[in-house]
Amino acid sequence: MTRYPRRDVAAIVDHTLLKPEATPADAAAAIAEAVDLGVYAVCLSPSMLPIDTGIVNTCAVAGFPSGKHHSLVKAAEARLAVDTGADEIDMVIDVGAAVDGRYDEVFADILTVREAIGREKILKVIIESAALLELSGPDAVTEVCRRAVTAGANYVKTSTGFHPLGGASVAAVELMRAAVGEDAEIKASGGIRTAEFAAALIDAGATRLGLSASRTVLDGFAD
């Protein structure tokens, strides 16, 4: 068991269903589980909206999972998601632009989505931290996080969970927290399957967790 109470961890969980083969029935089941677990939000593909998520918040992705969409396409996707019920948007940056050091393009991409959804909605920016660390090093993570904050991101997020180079890590979360300070929150996602790993990410500075195995993870925390 970890020292974090289960209810407190559940309150920062985005229960996630982003499999490409997911059906409306799968989405309905994910929502029912999210409500049962008492998590903060359910995170779905935008094509699942509009949908009644009951008492939990609704999160949708944009530019997912590659980030290689035109900024205007990401913006339109995000705006449509908001118009059909999303409270929060998790957008994917153009990772290649970041790897190449084209940080102004990353900034413009994020700003385009922010302007499309307005300032009242939560914007989380997925940076694919494992890929950036592997291909460019820690300075790229730091620079992208800082640009994201300047562009209006509320959160920087580690991963889509779909990149072959990996998902969340304690080292990435620590680096991201150092980069943004108190100016933004941190969402850790990708490969979080145990309570011990979840607790380590929270210790490192994560303030939201993206989980698909939410029940398994939460069962590792004491009531």
Given a contact cutoff of 8 angstroms between Cβ atoms, the answer to whether 89 and 117 are in contact is yes
Report which residue type is found at 172: A
Q: What number of CA atoms fall less than 13 Å from residue 52's CA on the CB side? A: 1
60 is written with which tokens?
A: 């949708």
157 catalytic? Reply is yes
124 is catalytic: no
Catalytic residue among 74, 94, 124, 157: 157
CB atoms near residue 86 (< 10 Å): 28
Q: What one-letter code names the amino acid at 2?
A: T
Among residues 90, 94, 109, 124, which one is catalytic? Answer: 90
Q: Is 19 a catalytic residue?
A: no
End-to-end CA distance of the chain: 10
Closest by CA position to 24, among listed 59, 51, 1: 51
Catalytic residues: 90, 157, 187
